[in-house]
Chains A and B, each alone.
Chain A
């Protein structure tokens, strides 16, 4: 087994809380954050449950001390909040001491503003400031500015596996000695664009989602931002940093089956998990808990279950999806669940797969349905997305 890359800070804002501590309390008390949306104005508002962050845009702008005429989208605002928390926990005051990068993931970018002002862009000068904030990279640039990062800054957009790929890239850059320190994660705000997109695919649940249940009826969307600080062994040693956990394994593969649907055999998921185990130098039996992608769509949960059975055979480790807490937070999901995986290791806790009642007949698998305390050494976290993009990460105890 190899040690991996050190995680020294984490930050998160999600439907279950605006800090790591608040998220942890909700996870430990099995309290879902799904509800009718308060901020997002959509026709479907009263017919769906979403995982919405409590703060309004104005409240976040105030916390970040932004000027009145700022053009921060909600994606940027959420991202800045979470990334700042991560730096604070890592006790980083002077960003320029080491070669520091930022890799952020997003799918919607500035869509939350674009969709509101699309038909006003031509005529209303007041909203034209949101034209340049539409593209995905804008949110990342804003986070970099708030954090003071000026060097290597980039954005990954591989749909729902985006943040997992950001974490993977960050770990690779540290290992290769290209950076000393890197902030990795993702951010996505709720938008009418994605709500209607998933609704048109008929995979949006009207009630709280029930991952891995035989009668699951789709996903809830959520918004969130989560970031981790990864640091090289040299920086950790030089600054005598406390390490929260290690990124020990990562894998990325493509299902190459369909633009949106996952293959029945979960080929991409299987390959990604297998690669991650290989990088970590672990046998499947060493995994104590799998934080599954588990979106609660018919297709994903069956495909992922098949992949779990192919990797772990008869000895499937404890597994759960935390999507019923936060909703599916798209590009941020991989980072949200990375934070949850580290918390699981720290707390020696497997978080509940809320809403589960009946195993699906095809696999008979039952996730962990109530908070379970047990010694954890290695946690595997899956994220899969449109375009066949499948990624898997392994986190190991510090």
Chain B
């Protein structure tokens, strides 16, 4: 079975993670219940004529994919795999609102055409003239992880050598308010902003100088009872021949809602390990956990993350094994294990 190397990871988020040097220099505090990503100068990546037609999801996806390919020094991937929980929400809202307002008459197809979940992956393929394997996962908070699983399967089986993988979700303008509305009716609602972002990476079967990390394992579980979360996590580590004591950092998808109890259970297993969170600073969206993937590779590469991300930090030492854990409302759990090359 081949090793799955990570040649590059880039992330557009509500923090300055897409900066030239890829380092967040200063944490931005967000107070609003919904926040946009810090959008880069898209014209550096996309022609103006194309930009005009693109929704935020497509812009973020195309720009992030270009930068990920550039950093991995790759022209053509052997597969393009994306994940998006809500797909192209902005165009969906546009088409739906026009449909309702015009009583199903006088509609133009542009927004409809661009509303499908696979628009981002399709546009990337179109831009690269890439006829390779192309697919899109849309499964809530494990949309990105589903894409990773597919990619890792192809690399391990030798079906592809270099794969572009990404997770992207856009804020839109209306549905997010409805989500917020019902969330506020919960006894303990999500305490972080609703948000958007795009994280893209190049996975490869080739060991090479400058590779950022190794994707050791990724697993998803639709349901795990709270009482079983620790044993499931331990079983995941055991399957990958790593002991909890060998984990140097754990990055958790804490968002402040009642289901944070899952993370508290995990935290107790790692009293002396570095623990990090991120949704407080980049917000919550279905592919937010892809940002943790970016953080994990930053740690392994030896980059410094702002101290705000740390729940607990021990003396500095190199990060060799990083564990990521995320869930949403007690469902769609994901474990990712990243290791040094």
Chain A residues within 8 Å of B, Cβ to Cβ: 42-44, 102, 106-107, 109, 114-115, 118-119, 121-122, 128, 131-132, 134-138, 140-141, 144-145, 149-159, 165, 169, 172-173, 176, 178, 192-193, 196-197, 199-201, 252-260, 267-268, 271, 385-389
Contact = CB atoms under 8 A, between A and B. Distances in A.
A196 B139 contact: no
Counting from the closest, the 4 A-B pairs by CB-CB distance are A387-B122, A197-B112, A157-B117, A153-B222
Contacts of A109: 138
A254 to B, nearest CB: 4
Q: Which of A157, A257, A268 has the most CB of B within 10 A?
A: A157
B131 A253 contact: yes
Contacts of B156: 176
Contact of A197 (B95, B126, B181): B95
Interface string B44-85: 000000000000000000000000000000000000100001
6 contacts: A109-B138, A150-B222, A154-B139, A159-B118, A387-B116, A387-B123
A137 B140 contact: yes
A138 B142 CA distance: 12
B300 interface: no
A375 to B, nearest CB: 33
B31 interface: no
B113 A260 contact: yes
A165 B126 CA distance: 19
Nearest to B175: A134
A135 B131 contact: no
Given A132-B182, A253-B133, 9 more contacts: A115-B96, A155-B137, A159-B117, A193-B96, A196-B95, A197-B113, A200-B112, A386-B113, A388-B126
B3 interface: no
B13 interface: no
A107 B117 CA distance: 7
Contacts of B286: 135
Contacts of B97: 118
Contacts of A173: 153
Query: Interface size bucket, B side?
Result: 35 or more
Given A387-B122, A388-B125, A153 B220 contact: yes
A137 B146 CA distance: 12
Nearest to A173: B153
A271 B78 CA distance: 14
A137 B125 CA distance: 24
B109 interface: yes
A175 B177 CA distance: 43
Interface in B179-236: 179, 181-182, 220-224
A153 B134 contact: no
A254 B138 contact: no
B222 A151 contact: yes
B118 to A, nearest CB: 4
Contacts of B80: 254
Contact of A122 (B126, B149, B178): B178
Given A144-B222, A149-B222, A153-B222, A136 B122 contact: no
